[in-house]
Amino acid sequence: MQRAPLIWIKPTAPDRRHRADIHRKEHMVQTRAIVLGAFAALLLAVPAKAQVLVDVSKISCDQYITQRITHMQTVNVWLAGFYAGRRNNPVVDTQALNKNGNKLSRFCESHREMPLLEAVEADTK
C-alpha cells in the first residue's frame, strides 16, 4: 500500500481586505477613546471663578451708578439683606427691593461723590 505524500499547506496570511478591516476597527477604537477622553475632559473642566471681595462701605454713589465695582442688582440684594439682618427680619421683599433700588439710583445720580451707605441712610430719612 502506497501512501499519499503529505502536503504541507502553509497557512495563508489574512487577505488584504481582512487586514484593512482589522486596521479600521483598531483605528475606530483609538479614535473613540480619544473622543471620549476629550469629552470627559470638557465635562470635568470647571471654570475657575475668581473670588472678589468688595468693601461696600467704600463704594461711592458714582461707582454704584456706573456699575464699576459690580452690578447694581447685586449691591441692592446685599443692602436689602444687610438692613433686614439689622432689623432681625429674615424676609426680603423683592418688590420693595426693586423700589428701594430705583429710589437709591435716583438719589445717587445727584450725589455721585457720596459714599453709598451714607446715601442709603440719607435716602431713608
3-state secondary structure the chain: CCCCCCCCCCCCCCCHHHHHHHHHHHHHHHHHHHHHHHHHHHHHCCCCCCCCCCCHHHCEHHHHHHCCCCCHHHHHHHHHHHHHHHCCCCCCCHHHHHHHHHHHHHHHHCCCCCEHHHHHHHHHC
The pLDDT, as a whole number, for residue 116 is 95
CATH assignment of 56-124, among 1.10.530.10, 1.20.950.20, 1.10.3470.10, 1.10.890.10: 1.10.890.10
> What would the pLDDT profile of 1-28 be if each residue is shown by its tens digit?
566 666 665 555 556 666 777 777 787 8
Are the C-beta atoms of 32 and 39 separated by less than 8 Å?
no
> What would the pLDDT profile of 56-88 be if each residue is shown by its tens digit?
899 999 999 999 988 999 999 999 999 888 889
> What would the pLDDT profile of 84-106 be if each residue is shown by its tens digit?
888 898 888 889 989 999 999 99
